[in-house]
Amino acid sequence: MPMPTITAVRAFTVRGGGADYHDQGDGHWIDGQIATPMSRYPEYRAKRSSFGLNVLGTLVVEVEASDGTVGFAVTTGGEIGCFVVERHLARFLVGRPVTEIERMWDQMYAASQFYGRKGVVLNTISGVDLALWDLLAKVRGEPVYQLLGGAVRDELVFYATGPRPDLAKKMGFIGGKMPLKHGPAEREEGLRANVAALAAMRDAVGDDFWLMYDCWMALDLDYATRLAIAGREHGLKWIEECLSPDDYWGYAALRKAVPAGMLVTTGEHEATRWGFRLLLEMGCCDIIQPDVGWCGGLTELIKISALADAHACPVIPHGSSVYSYHFVATRPNSPFAEFLMMAPEADRVVPMFHPLLLDEPLPEGGRLKVSALDRPGFGVRLNPDCALHRPYPAA
Ligand SMILES: C[C@H](O)[C@H](O)CC(=O)C(=O)O
Ligand SMILES: [Mg+2]
């Protein structure tokens, strides 16, 4: 049966939240003091925006088909992403049938290998890939999760990321992952403060609620090991992204050094099946956390997940709202999902990609029925009130 072909590819950027969820206004918890690889420089410690955490902005990719259907997706990538899409990647899409996602992915990756492979180029390929899945699912009139093989569960259960696991517990989430505040440059005093914050939160939530620490690449092996050992007493379930994403050897050593039963997790800044192959084969972690908007998109996440399954390693995707939910619904080895608390005080559930997307389904009581995803494509719309900027329109 002849399928529509792709007739146009457009790339836009937009500021203020959206897929670059770090691009928030003053006073938001996500831009407070959180340990980062830049925390060793005191002048970049108090706010993550001080070193440029929100420098990229959101990338919006639209793909239009010959029958008039438009698919779209959002990720982090901003103006650089727009350039890569419109001046380079679009050529591999225009004129192709909407079904040929695998071939388009392979051409985008192979053609950009000389300057890509990870980082913003893979964010960009992910954005294009997700827009292609949205388009194909809309052309077929089905939700994306049905194209992925259908749901393996009726509802998703979530843990919450943010500074208030005590409030997340009241909202019905199964656990809370806190941002670590102090890094190694703040020495023993900082370490004691990190452990004290965990202990206080444990007192607030009781024994059975999961508590985790997100260390956002800020630590070294020695500090991470000491934090894990001290955290065990307070029921720290996992310790996340402690080291540089390039330090596979450090992660392998950390996994051996943490107390029995504590999980080492990482992968939100890793990309492609080859990056995750290193994490898995080197025994770096107990859970991988690819971000579907950064790791290469759904086409790549399917491969990463299969590889992880063969290593008995669960896949709990990082954030990414609907783009994760449609995937998690379909994989036996993704037993729960992350919800990032994007309210400035983490005191209520708000859409992760607010204000950019309309119709983003929200967990209620820490759960989301898969039937809430039953709309064509990823089931979301762009908010017409958000001012999109198209810096590199095709000539
Ligand atoms: C809170 C973390 O520093 C980061 O902003 C989000 C993240 O790493 C996660 O959700 O995981
Ligand atoms: Mg994280």
Strand spans (E) along the chain: 6-14, 58-65, 70-76, 155-161, 175-179, 210-214, 236-240, 263-266, 287-288, 337-340, 357-358, 367-369, 381-382
Query: Is the CB of 20 inside a 6 Å radius of any atom of ligand 1?
Result: no
- The enclosing domain of 11 has a CATH number of 3.30.390.10
Q: Is the CB of 340 under 6 A from ligand 1?
A: yes
CB 229 within 8 A of CB 204: no
Give me the helix-helix angle, 297-310 and 101-111, nearest 10°. Answer: 90
Please check the confidence at residue 191 and state whether its pLDDT lies above 70. Answer: yes
Instruction: Report how far apart, in Å, the C-alpha atoms of 159 and of each of 151, 174, 306, 317, 337 are.
Output: 20, 5, 23, 12, 7
Is the confidence metric ipTM above 0.85 for this complex? yes
* 126 pLDDT higher than 90: yes
Q: Which atom of ligand 1 is nearest to the CA of 340?
A: 10
Q: Which residues pair with 75 in a beta bridge?
A: 59
Question: Which residue's CA is minimally distant from atom 2 of ligand 1?
Answer: 179
Q: Is 234 known to sit in a ligand binding site?
A: no
The reply to whether 241 sits in an annotated binding site is no
Residue 338 Cα: closest atom of ligand 1: 10
List pLDDT tens digits, range 195-224.
Answer: 999 999 999 999 999 999 999 999 999 999
Domain membership of residue 201 (yes or no) is yes
In the predicted model, what is the mean pLDDT of the chain? 97
- List 318, 326, 354, 389, catalytic entry: 318
Same structural domain for residues 162 and 259? yes
Residue 290 alpha carbon to ligand 2 centre in Å: 10
* Dist CA 191 CA 254 (whole Å): 17
257 and 333 in a common domain: yes
Q: pLDDT tens for residues 319-369?
A: 999 999 999 999 999 999 999 999 999 999 999 999 999 999 999 999 999
Please state the rounded mean pLDDT for residues 173-186: 98
Q: Do 189 and 319 reside in the same domain of the chain?
A: yes
Residue of 149, 147, 138, 144 whose CA lies nearest to 62: 138
Out of 22, 194, 214, 289, mutate this one to test ligand 1's pocket (max ligand atoms within 8 Å of CB): namely 214
- Do 153 and 74 have their domain in common? no
**pLDDT above 90 for 395:** no
Closest of 289, 45, 54 to residue 181, by C-alpha: 45
Question: What is the mean predicted confidence (pLDDT) over 101-124?
Answer: 98
**Tell me, what's the pLDDT at 358?**
97
Q: Which residues pair with 340 in a beta bridge?
A: 161
CATH code of the domain containing 323: 3.20.20.120
Q: Are residues 103 and 219 in the same domain?
A: no
Q: Among 216, 287, 342, 352, which is best to mutate for testing ligand 1, by the most ligand atoms less than 8 A from CB?
A: 216
Read off the pLDDT band of 107 (50, 70, 90): very high
Q: Is the CB of 162 under 6 A from ligand 1?
A: no
Percent of the chain with pLDDT over 70: 100
Residue 374 labeled ligand binder = no
What is the span of the domain harbouring residue 301?
147-375
Domain membership flag for residue 91? yes
Based on the residue annotation, tell me whether 318 is a catalytic residue of this protein.
Answer: yes
pLDDT in tens, 243-289: 999 999 999 999 999 999 999 999 999 999 999 999 999 999 999 99
Look up residue 132 and give its two tokens.
Answer: 């292609």
Instruction: Give the Å distance between the CA of 30 and the centre of ligand 1.
Output: 8
pLDDT > 90 fraction of the chain, expressed in percent and rounded: 98
- Which residue's C-alpha comes closest to atom 1 of ligand 1? 179
Work out how many domains the chain is built from and give that number. 2
> Where does a domain end: 117, 141, 165?
141
- Kindly state if the Cβ of 318 falls inside 6 Å of ligand 1: yes
Nearest-5° Cα angle at 67, 65 to 71: 40
- Whether 188 is covered by a domain: the verdict is yes
Centre of ligand 1 from the C-alpha of residue 22, in Å:
9
User: pLDDT of 42-52, one tens digit each?
Assistant: 999 999 999 99
Question: In the prediction, which pLDDT does 93 show?
Answer: 98
Q: Are residues 92 and 211 in the same domain?
A: no
Kindly report the pTM of this predicted structure. 0.98
